[in-house]
Amino acid sequence: MSVPLPADDLIVIGKIVSVHGVRGEVKVYSFTDPLDNLLDYRRWTLTRDSEIKQVELVRGRLQNNVLVAKLRGLDDREVARTYAGFEIRVPRSELPELNDGEFYWHQLIGLRVIDQAGQFLGRLDHLLETGANDVIVVKPVEGSLDDRERLLPYTEQCVQAIDLASGEMRVDWDADF
C-alpha cells in the first residue's frame, strides 16, 4: 500500500468541471501549458474540500480548448457528475525541470513584490491567464505600502527579477498606478 503524499507535495494542474457524453467521461480545465500536457500524468490525486480520491487516467483528448478524460472504472454519467469541482493534483517531483528564468506559478505565490524604489507593494496572491499575457495579482498585507490590490502584467518589461531564495519579485511598476 502506498502512503499518500502530504498535500504540499501535490501541485494542482487542473480541475474537473463537468461530465462529457454518456460513458462517464469528464471535462477537465487544464492549468498546464500546452493544455494537453496534463494528459502526460496518469495517476491523479483528486481533492475537493476534505475529500481525496486516487484515480488513473485511461485516455484523454483535447476538444475545443477543454480536455475530455476517461478515468479507470468511471463508466456512468451520473457518477461522473459527482466528480465536478475536484482539483487534479500530481506530485511536485513529477513536474519537468524548467530552464533558467522559467518558473511554475506555484513557485511565485506568496513572493514579496517590491518596486524599483524599494517599496513593498504586497504579496503575489495568484496569477490570471488572460490570453495576451498572464497577470500577477498583488494583495496588500501587513507592512505593504498601502491597502490597494494591484494587477501587474507578467512580462519582461514589468518583472525585473525573481529571487525564490529571498522570496522576492522585483518589478518596474509605478506604485500610483
Q: Please give the share of the chain, as a percent, with pLDDT higher than 70.
A: 95
**What pLDDT score was predicted for residue 91?**
92
Give the C-alpha separation, 127 to 89, whole Å.
18
- Superfamily designation of domain 105-171: PRC-barrel domain (2.30.30.240)
Amino acid at 107: Q
Domain 7-93, architecture per CATH: Beta Barrel (2.40)
The whole-model pTM stands at: 0.69
**What pLDDT score was predicted for residue 147?**
95
Contact 109, 125 (CB under 8 A): yes
Please tell me which residue, 66 or 53, carries the higher pLDDT value: 53
Give tens-digit pLDDT for 9-54.
888 899 999 999 999 999 999 888 788 999 999 999 999 999 999 9
**Is 173 a residue whose pLDDT tops 90?**
yes
**What pLDDT score was predicted for residue 130?**
75
Give tens-digit pLDDT for 55-65.
999 999 998 87
**What pLDDT score was predicted for residue 122?**
96
**Is 3 a residue whose pLDDT tops 60?**
no
Indicate the SS3 state at residue 32: coil
**Is 6 a residue whose pLDDT tops 60?**
no
- Provide CATH 2.30.30.240 ranges for the chain: 105-171
| pLDDT class of 2 with cuts at 50, 70, 90 | very low
Task: State the average pLDDT over residues 113-140.
Answer: 90
Contact 36, 30 (CB under 8 A): yes
- Provide CATH 2.40.30.60 ranges for the chain: 7-93
